[in-house]
Structure 1
Amino acid sequence: MSDPHLGLTVTHRRYVPYAHAHYGGALVDGAYTLGLFGDVATEVAIVMDGDEGLLAGYTDVRFLGPVRAGDVLEATAEVVRIGRRSRELRCTARVVARAEPERSPSAARVLRPPLVVVEAVATLVVPGSAVTP
């Protein structure tokens, strides 16, 4: 019998502030997106196990496109495997809107389709006391 949490998906959206740009072209470092993956993984653990759990690590991290200040970034974690105390998550980050300062200082547009910028597989671990039998 399959666990009903298999396929559970959590999504957060966040505006990327200009204060987070560290590089030319208003680029934001990759750690910013990995931090968002940690946030959605924490919510997955709370929903599944009633505990924040611990993000133990990432595998297969791929940076596929730039994240820039002024982007609206969407981070999603989907549960793809459930172990006794671990959960494997497929994490995806998409830019759903992007600033267009060349048009005007406050110009932006919605990206259709969104631009996939980071993909990763994460391992989430929950304490034995949090795991429901």
Structure 2
Amino acid sequence: MSLYEGFSVTHRRYVPRSHAHYGGDLVDGAYGLGLFGDVATELLIHTDADEGLFAGYSSVEFVAPIQAGDVIEATATLVRIGNRSREIEFEARVVCRSAPLRGPSAADVLDPPLVVTRARGTVVAPKAAD
């Protein structure tokens, strides 16, 4: 197990067109929060050998839109360790974005990646077995 502040986990995922919810191929903000739940689960498996439970967010910022055709990465970084609570900072970034004006399958790598969502939340790990 790696229980130390600064430990992080990153996931990448393609956002399919079927996830577009609004005009302009926009995806709802909850999509990024779902990714944060997944990456927090893996982080807790590494740190506590358990999936843990999400207690809540203390802050959420929707910085830029997520669009269908994006490749998005979500990172969870452990910033505070309590007895059972773990405070985590989250950031979601678009690393590739579709470019439909150039063609139906055209896309670009974004350098630097575009930050789309930031959050801070608390997860709870079960009490360690004696």
TM bracket (short chain): over 0.9
- The reply to whether residue 43 of structure 1 matches residue 33 of structure 2 is no
Structure 2 CA distance, aligned partners of 1:129 and 1:85? 9
* TM-score, normalization by structure 1: 0.93
Aligned identity (percent) is 64
- The reply to whether residue 109 of structure 1 matches residue 108 of structure 2 is yes
Structure 1 CA distance, aligned partners of 2:3 and 2:40? 17
Structure 1 CA distance, aligned partners of 2:106 and 2:126? 46
Structure 2 CA distance, aligned partners of 1:73 and 1:55? 22
Structure 1: stretches of 5+ with no match in the other structure: none
Tell me if the contact between 2:3 and 2:48 (Cα under 8 Å) persists in the aligned partners: no
- Corresponding residue pairs, total: 129
* TM-score, normalization by structure 2: 0.95
Q: Deviations over 1:53-82 (max 9, x none)?
A: 011111210000000000000000000000
Shift of 1:129: 3.3
Structure 2: stretches of 5+ with no match in the other structure: none
**Corresponding letter in the other structure for 1:79:** L
1:120 aligns with 119
State the 4+ residue runs in structure 1 displaced beyond 6 angstroms.
none
1:80 aligns with 79
Structure 1 CA distance, aligned partners of 2:122 and 2:15? 25
Shift of 1:89: 0.4
1:25 aligns with 24
**Cα distance change of structure 1 residues 4 and 124 upon mapping to structure 2, 3 Å threshold:** closer
Structure 1 CA distance, aligned partners of 2:18 and 2:128? 40
Structure 2 CA distance, aligned partners of 1:96 and 1:57? 27
